[in-house]
Amino acid sequence: MPAAGYELQTLRVEGISRSNPLKAARAVFRAGASIRTARRIVDGADAVLGGGGYVAGPVGLAALTRRIPVVLTEADSHLGLTNRLLAPRARRVCLAFPIPGRDGDRYLVTGRPVPPTVDDRAAARAEFGIPPEATCVLIFGGSLGARSINLAAVEAFADAGFHVLHVPGARDFAELRAPGEQYHLREYVSPFGQALVAADLAVARAGGSVFELAQYGLPAILIPYPHASADHQTANARWMADAGAARIITDAELTPERLRETTDAVLAAREPMSHAAESLAKPNAAQDIAHEILAAVTGEEVDPSE
């Protein structure tokens, strides 16, 4: 945050454990105790934006006790605990996905904000050593990576007739070896839009990155993380699959053979699947959320283009 020019203030809070009652009780105690500090932080604010994490709970409650309007964002396909608690008193709840039962005036589907689009596909491909006309499959699993995907991909695409750009994350990078010249391993890519614009298909988990896949019109093979809260990654994957933009492989069913077979099938159908992905894009999500914050401050509708 400081690097981006914003002041950072912290609270001593932690997530609520679902398996350890003592840790859960400690988390609730710390959240309650931090409300006083949160009140000092929000004093003078015109509005508070909550992102749904456990830090947002005390801050949102502090804002409400100060009669400061609260706008919430929900990045997943279900409301998390903090947002469920704050939503009844929020001015607006901005949803990444439509959520059954959350369709009143208080709720608005905005999509999830994404970084600025990288447009120069030729420059990105040159950076990675991928020829302009070659087919490229992108594999990634977040900053730490996804071990099951990383291991399956290296074997699945060892003799691929297309290029592979594999960004395995910090945890597994050191032990992976590229199986051929067409296989490009990078520990990380920044901005990640360079990898997305260079690709024709993505193999990934199904977290918030599904909106970046839609942003670039990338058909996808999604392997949802099986231990995600409320299994929200499976719901995210179904959102893309139901639109015709993705195929789903469960983590338990992931093998090199299954991955290669599905990749070949998606590449054969990538044009209509790419159009389907593009149809899901919400390029103005950040602007729309900012509009809701301004509207909460003024109490009036604000032109989103201004």
The tens digit of pLDDT for each residue in 200-214 reads 999 999 999 999 999
For residue 228, the SS3 value is coil
Helix (H) or strand (E) holding 289, with range, is helix 285-298
CA distance 84 to 93: 10
Give the CA dihedral 52, 226, 166, 125, nearest 10 degrees.
-50
State yes or no: pLDDT of 300 exceeds 80: no
Residue percentage of the chain with pLDDT more than 90: 80
CA distance 236 to 209: 10
The predicted-structure confidence for 237-278, as pLDDT tens digits, reads as follows: 999 999 999 999 999 999 999 999 999 999 999 999 999 999
DSSP assignment string, 47-96: -EEE-SSTTHHHHHHHHHHTT--EEEEE-SSS--HHHHHHGGG-SEEEES
Q: State mean pLDDT over 135-146.
A: 85
State yes or no: pLDDT of 302 exceeds 60: no
Q: Which residues contact 244 (CB under 8 A, 6 or more apart)?
A: 272, 273, 276
Residue-level pLDDT at 121: 98
CA distance 30 to 14: 8
In which residue are the tokens 């609260």 written?
70
State yes or no: pLDDT of 305 exceeds 60: no
State yes or no: pLDDT of 145 exceeds 70: no
For residue 129, the SS3 value is coil
The predicted-structure confidence for 147-187, as pLDDT tens digits, reads as follows: 999 999 999 999 999 999 999 988 899 999 999 999 999 99
CATH assignment of 2-114+283-298, given 3.40.718.10, 3.10.450.30, 3.40.50.2000, 2.40.37.10? 3.40.50.2000
Q: What superfamily would CATH give domain 121-279?
A: Glycogen Phosphorylase B; (3.40.50.2000)
Do the two domains 2-114+283-298 and 121-279 of this chain adopt the same fold? yes
Domain boundaries, the chain: 2-114+283-298, 121-279
Residue-level pLDDT at 103: 87
State yes or no: pLDDT of 142 exceeds 80: no
Q: State mean pLDDT over 82-91.
A: 95
Residue percentage of the chain with pLDDT more than 70: 97
Residue-level pLDDT at 153: 97
